[in-house]
Amino acid sequence: MPDPDAIAQLIARCALRDRQAFTQLYRQAAPKLYAVAIRILRREDWAQEVLQESFVNIWNHVAQYSPSRSAPMTWMTAVVRNRALDWLRRPNLEQGDADYDLLAESIPDEAPGPEALLAGSRDARALADCLKLLTGDQRQSITLAYVHGLSHAELAEHLKQPLGTVKTWIRRGLAKLKQCMEGNRS
Amino acid sequence: MKYRDEQTREALAAEYALGTLQGRARRRFERSLKEDPGLRRLVAQWQARLAPLDALIEPVQPPARVWQAIESRLRPTTRPGAATPGMGLAGLWGSLGFWRAATAVSGALALALALAMTVLTPASTPREMMVAVMADASGAPLMTVSWSMRPQREKALRIRVVRHETMAAGTAWELWLLPGSGEKPVSLGLIGTEATQQLQVPQKLARAIDGAWGLAMSVEPHGGSPTGLPTGPVMCKGPATQL
């Protein structure tokens, strides 16, 4: 994980239109962000497009970043995630692409579970502890949606459940997650 | 559309951060985000809660062509197109004054001077411009300040920080008018570290600044110099030149 302080400083310099800082920011953050895009889009060519769009976007809107509101990597990840999700849900996205189907099948049933998170930072452990309180179905649908960018409909198909059921799992799971994480903080 | 109900706001922010808010609902939510700081805060909180799920992912090196594509799409840092329609760039480059000024401040500073040009906007398209290119002790330009000589009730300085220096905590940057001929510097006010900024000239200095020898910037305690004269190190200074 890139050093958050170094990233924050580079972002501050980018706000002053420092192109060198931007080059460094790309070097440090792009591999992680590219991986995030690949995971959601499941196609490298799309991920490259989205990464490119995202960094142009980051450069153009870097002045709007507020360090008090979010950690720098979280902010940049959100830019990439939103771009990737918009890309996936373009109205005229080519459907039935062979590569796409192939990769879609490789989605694991439960991606990073609470156990894997336990080894991480304090925030990661807090999330892990609270994910454990969710039912298996709630946990699975939330992590799959986040990690692989699956829509309600895709989740329903993947988990072979009615759409309404999946929506309820997610809604209740998120509510429980918030309650737990806020409770642990106070 | 406003989402007034706190529970709805929370649920939508969560599903937006999760990625399951889609289609029209997503676009509508994004429009609300633009004008609703409270909603942006809820989303940021959810992004932070879910972010640890990203920590586990193994980085992948993107191919070099991605960076090349990004670089080719960035606007150049000097933006000739930003020059004003009234006094277009061609006019500036052709203007004798510009080149006189550029030569006066030495070739090394010409670029900074060109940079200063990019902050001119139609509101200040006057023929008579003053520019001070302010350099540090080594002669490297740190910031440019430009203003219009036309008599105005409200005179504003356009400041461009060319090279960024970090402002230490508890300090301030104070801009000074150097009247020349041995007279004491006069404070123009405090400035920030932003790349481009504006500073209103105190009314009583509006005339003095047109005849100033130059400008300087010093590092002062928080709130500005306690004595009314520069007390900290002068970070940069430079002569004012009429274009």
Residue where one domain finishes, among candidates A35, A56, A88: A88
pLDDT in tens, A58-114: 998 888 888 888 889 999 999 999 999 999 877 665 554 434 443 444 455 555 566
Q: Is B168 helix (H, G, I), strand (E, B) or coil?
A: coil
Q: Using CA atoms, how far apart are residues A138 and A142, in angstroms rounded to an integer?
A: 6
For residue A96, being part of any structural domain is answered with: no
For residue A181, being part of any structural domain is answered with: yes
The mean pLDDT value for B42-64 works out to 91
Q: Is A54 helix (H, G, I), strand (E, B) or coil?
A: helix
Interface membership of B195 toward A (CB under 8 Å): yes
Q: Find the domain containing A135 and state its range.
A: 107-185
Residue where one domain finishes, among candidates A57, A88, A119: A88
Q: Is the pLDDT of residue A132 over 60?
A: yes
Question: What's residue B108's pLDDT?
Answer: 45
Task: Find, in chain A, the residue whose alpha carbon is nearest to that of B47.
Answer: A74
Instruction: Point out the residue among B20, B70, B73 whose CB comes nearest to the CB of A170.
Output: B20
Residue where one domain finishes, among candidates A31, A61, A88: A88
CB distance B22–A146 less than 8 Å? no
pLDDT in tens, B94-147: 344 444 454 444 444 555 555 555 444 444 444 577 888 888 777 777 888 888
Please give the share of chain B, as a percent, with pLDDT higher than 70: 74
Question: What's residue A121's pLDDT?
Answer: 76
Closest CA to B40 of A181, A66, A171, A37: A66
Under a CB-based contact definition with an 8 Å cutoff, are residues B182 and B194 in contact? no
Question: What's residue B148's pLDDT?
Answer: 83
For residue A11, being part of any structural domain is answered with: yes
The reply to whether A59 and A112 lie within a common domain is no
For residue A25, being part of any structural domain is answered with: yes
pLDDT in tens, A18-66: 899 999 999 999 999 999 999 899 889 999 999 999 999 999 888 888 8
CATH number of B80-242: 2.60.40
Interface of B with A in 26-45 (CB under 8 A): 40-41, 44
- Please give the ipTM for the structure prediction: 0.88
Task: Find, in chain A, the residue whose alpha carbon is nearest to that of B197.
Answer: A16
Question: What's residue B80's pLDDT?
Answer: 39
Which stretch of A89-103, A115-129, B184-198 has the lowest confidence by average pLDDT?
A89-103
Instruction: Count the Cβ atoms, other than its own, within 10 Å of residue A58.
Output: 22
Question: What's residue B54's pLDDT?
Answer: 86
Closest CA to A88 of A39, A133, A135, A15: A39
The reply to whether A83 and A136 lie within a common domain is no
Q: Using CA atoms, how far apart are residues B108 and B91, in angstroms rounded to an integer?
A: 22
The domain total for chain A is 2
Under a CB-based contact definition with an 8 Å cutoff, are residues A163 and A155 in contact? no
List where CATH 2.60.40 sits in chain B: 80-242
Question: What's residue B13's pLDDT?
Answer: 96
